[in-house]
A and B are shown apart, each in its own frame.
Chain A
Amino acid sequence: MMRFLLACLFLALAFVLQFWFASIGISINFIFTALIAFAFLFDFWDVLFFILAAIFVVNWQPAMSWEMFILAAIPFAAYLLHNYSTWEAWVANLACIVIGLLILYIAIAPRFFTANLGVFFVDLFGCLIFGSIVFGALNRREGR
């Protein structure tokens, strides 16, 4: 239960960080990264709750959009894949962040991706750091 509450705090922190960085012109997908890390640490219903909470705050229009579908689908895919992965969980988490972010950019805005590779790498760098912190903190909590 404590780990679940800690994850809620990390998700809230991801909301604040993502919108604060966006306000100064830096885009880092903290929320997306947190969801992928959660996919490696929680069961299906917990992951579903975190994804819905993220969509509730991130969804910006009355109708569901392609972006929200991708935001939900990639952490779910990470959840399904980690059960079959033979890699160490922390390595698989980082690999999923890289692949997930790549899919996010290509699926939503392929032209933007090819024209702004620098933006992608800044985003990736921030996501890998945040993803490692979230995974490390929650995984340690699980070990206790």
Chain B
Amino acid sequence: MTPRRSHRWILGILIIFLVAAILFAPSYGWKLRDLVSPRENAVAGQTGPNADDPNLVAENDALKAQLATYQTISAELPNDNSHYIRAMVYSRYPFNFKNQILVSAGAQDGVSSGTAVLFQGMLLGRIIQIFPHEAIVQTVLDSGFEMPVRVSSSGYDGLFMGGASPKVGSIAKTAALQTGDVVYAAASGLPYGLPLGTVTATSTSADSLFTEAAIGFPYDMNAVQTVLIAQTP
């Protein structure tokens, strides 16, 4: 058998193996992808080897301040974790067009479409597609993610719009917003009061009719490994 012919045989076997793996065992591909993807801490300021770093200490203080802000709406937050399913993040949408993740709980685990997905008590996204053992989450950073929200303890109404630069628009021009004000969910089908993030900057809309607020998140979406999924919408 010539080297060229043996190459063909090996290639044929590999092609059959790959087709079988894609169709029947895609999870091995996700694991392989996980191996070549860099790992990071999901939460900014998380303790670790550089816990004495002044920048991390400052970020930690900022998070504590944000926590105090969240406590102003704590009475409205869901406090019963028994209605949530813990799931691992299997993989992420491979292109830059969408921001979606695949999680390890599906229809057979009680997940239903449209339900809230949380990370560290904050709204990370919602379920948009369900498989028997997995589900796809549209995250708050997806350009198609929009939902009514309220801003600050005063509860100014606004419309959250995801994307590379997430923001809250359609806020009354008279609203007195400040950097650090908490943004929380006020959409039907999702638990009321789930925090999404905080205001990082404010501006006036292009038509000068509304205030807009840029939103920051105290976690790195690319590093989120586990989430909680609400069992009922």
Contact = CB atoms under 8 A, between A and B. Distances in A.
Interface of A: 1, 4, 12, 15-16, 18-20, 22-23, 25, 27, 29, 45-46, 48-49, 52-53, 55-64, 67, 104-105, 108-109, 111-112, 115-116, 119, 123
B130 to A, nearest CB: 11
Interface in B160-208: 164
B12 A58 contact: no
Interface in B1-19: 3, 7-8, 11-12, 14-15, 18-19
Interface of B: 3, 7-8, 11-12, 14-15, 18-19, 21-22, 26, 28-30, 32-33, 36-38, 40, 90-98, 102, 129, 131, 133-134, 136, 143, 164, 222
Nearest to A61: B102
Contacts of A111: 143
Nearest to B3: A1
B97 A112 contact: yes
B7 A1 contact: yes
Q: Is the interface of A mostly helix, strand, loop or mixed?
A: helix
B26 A27 contact: no
Contacts, number: 100
Given A4-B7, A45-B11, A56-B29, A23 B37 contact: yes
Nearest to A70: B95
10 contacts: A15-B36, A18-B94, A22-B96, A53-B18, A56-B29, A58-B94, A60-B33, A61-B26, A61-B131, A62-B131
Contact of B37 (A19, A29, A53): A19
B97 A109 contact: yes
B143 A23 contact: no
Contacts of A112: 96-97, 143
A49 B92 contact: no
Contact of A57 (B33, B97, B129, B133): B33
B91 A61 contact: yes
A52 B94 contact: no
Contact of B96 (A15, A48, A123): A123
A61 B134 contact: yes
